[in-house]
Amino acid sequence: MISQALALWGIFQPLSIAGANIAISLILAVILKVRLLDGRRFSLKGLALEKPLWIYIFAGIVSSAVMSGFKNGLGPLGRNFQLLADFYIFSIAFEFSNGFSPFYFWTLGFSLAAFLGLMEFGFWRFFPMSAASFDEKISSSHFWSAFYATNRAHGTIHPVTFGELMVMAGLGVLAYRMTNRLKSEKKKPWTISVGILIIAALALSGTRGAWMGFAIGLLVLAGINFREALVESFAALGVIFSQFFLSPRFSRATGALSAKEGSLKIHLALWKAAWRMFLDHPLLGVGPGRFGAFFGNYHSLPFGGQPTWGNAHNLYLQTLAERGIIGFFALLFLLGTMVFRAFKIYRRDRSFLSLWFLSWIISLLFMNLTESAFGVAMIWMPTIALYAWMESEARGQGEKK
């Protein structure tokens, strides 16, 4: 039953955060059934990420309590506790999944999201009268808003998050193929078509930060085994660069270059405001979730078509502004532990999961320079799930050895 719930989660996760949360609830229900009715025990001791997670959450609690009396902080802290709960749930689930691999179901979910994104772009390209403006699209959070056609593939979510999610999927397929070759295992021809589908969707998401993150992930794979990663890396980058020819969004005729310059100007203003906010509140920040409330003190409003900005579009600067130097180092400890554990496990086991996670987490570190990617549920949920899966497999390999 845990395997079935993990399979459902894999299918729903790239498509719907609500569907993914329902699947996690099913996983938790099965875990409780196994523990309470069947009497099976499980141990949560020795989880490498447990201490960094608790330190990160505790730093956020202190910042929120001292700086704002939890005003506007319950939402961010609630998401942090959900991150912690998901970590425990997935850690237990993979321990009791009897070696079940949700990779194929997860790949199906990624493929469905990518296919939907390509359909959206295709409708916009060939039937422009059916398209909605981008502002109209992103103003709707309803699942069915996915059927709007825009000049950016977006699946059922914002195109920025969609692009980042396609980075994770693309690196997973490449790592899977690379590991199979290194271990001389049977080739999986279906991975070629799936990889093309996912990387094409990434290209047409029009998300520059995601493209950068994907290139960094490819460098990680190439650094581990240049020969095995060379051909596919160049092919994948070629698909990414094809975006400049396929989408008028990046042509001079449509004024997209001036829009790009406007985007850079907005980002620089947000980063400057976040840095100044940190300098004024260096120890604990202004409190989680309060960047938007203080932004007007550091920049005139409205700005960039928004009444205020609650996102600094840089995870590290936003953490400095909202949680201060203490929260910043807690975040670095958390992310650094993930990188260190993935590298250590790959050196020992040469496993597919550690290769995938290592390339993904390093690419995520760079994507967080232009977005607060790790603060988005559609990103941190699969990240923590993949980490828990990697750790569970590593423990099993360690016991065998």
pLDDT beneath 70: ranges in the chain = 36-43, 128-148, 227-231, 242-261, 397-401
Domain total of the chain: 2
How far, in Å, are 143, 278, 332 from residue 237 at the CA level? 30, 37, 29
Please state the separation of Cα 119 from the chain's center in Å: 22
- Dihedrals phi, psi of 149, to nearest 5 degrees: -95, 130
The β-bridge partners of 306 are: 303
Q: Among 250, 276, 291, which residue terminates a domain?
A: 250
Give counts: helices (H), strands (E), the chain.
16, 0
Q: How far is CA 242 from CA 200, 257, 330, 367, in A?
A: 9, 17, 39, 21
Q: Rounded to whole angstroms, how far apart are CA atoms 249 and 251?
A: 6
In a domain, 373, yes or no: yes
- Separation CA 361–CA 265 (nearest Å): 28
Residues 117 and 242 grouped into a single domain: yes
Q: d(Cα 108, Cα 320) in Å, to the nearest integer? A: 38
284 belongs to a structural domain: yes
Q: How far is CA 145 from the centre of its chain?
A: 21
Q: What is the dihedral of CA 294, 297, 302, 303, to 10 degrees?
A: -90
Q: What is the token pair recorded at 261?
A: 């310059």
Q: Is residue 391 part of a domain?
A: yes
Cα separation of 83 and 31, whole Å? 18
Specify the pLDDT at position 129: 59
Residue 107 domain boundaries: 101-250
Same domain, 105 and 91: no
What's the pLDDT tens digit per position in 335-345? 999 999 999 99
Asked whether residue 4 is assigned to any structural domain, the reply reads: no
* Residue that finishes a domain, picked among 224, 250, 276: 250
* Per-residue confidence (pLDDT) for residue 378, from 0 to 100: 94
In a domain, 15, yes or no: no
> Does 108 share its domain with 95?
no
Residues 283, 394, single domain; the answer is yes
Are residues 82 and 114 located together in one domain of the fold? no
Domain end (from 250, 279, 312)? 250
Same domain, 64 and 129: no
Assess whether 201 and 335 both reside in one domain: no
Quick check: is 257 in a domain? no
Residues 327, 276: Cα–Cα separation, whole Å:
16
Looking at the structure, tell me whether residues 95 and 117 fall in a common domain.
no
Q: Is residue 202 part of a domain?
A: yes
- Whether residue 200 contacts residue 240, with contact meaning beta carbons closer than 8 Å, is answered with no
Tell me, yes or no, whether 345 lies in a domain. yes
Could you tell me if 121 and 166 lie in one domain? yes
Q: State the pLDDT at residue 253.
A: 41
Residues 275 and 352 in one domain: yes
A 10 A CB-CB count for 1 gives: 13
93 and 127 share one domain: no
Q: What is the pLDDT of residue 307?
A: 84
In angstroms, the CA 42 to CA 95 distance is 8
Tokens 């699946």 label which residue? 155
Tokens of 28: 């938790």
* Residue 264, phi then psi, degrees to nearest 5: -65, -40
User: What are 163's two structure tokens?
Assistant: 């692009």
Residue of 109, 102, 373, 359 whose CA lies nearest to 236: 359
Q: Which two tokens stand for residue 348?
A: 């020992």
The pLDDT assigned to 258 comes to 42
**216, 172: one domain:** yes
pLDDT tens-place string over residues 182-225:
777 777 888 889 988 999 899 888 888 998 999 899 889 988 87
Q: What is the pLDDT of residue 256?
A: 41
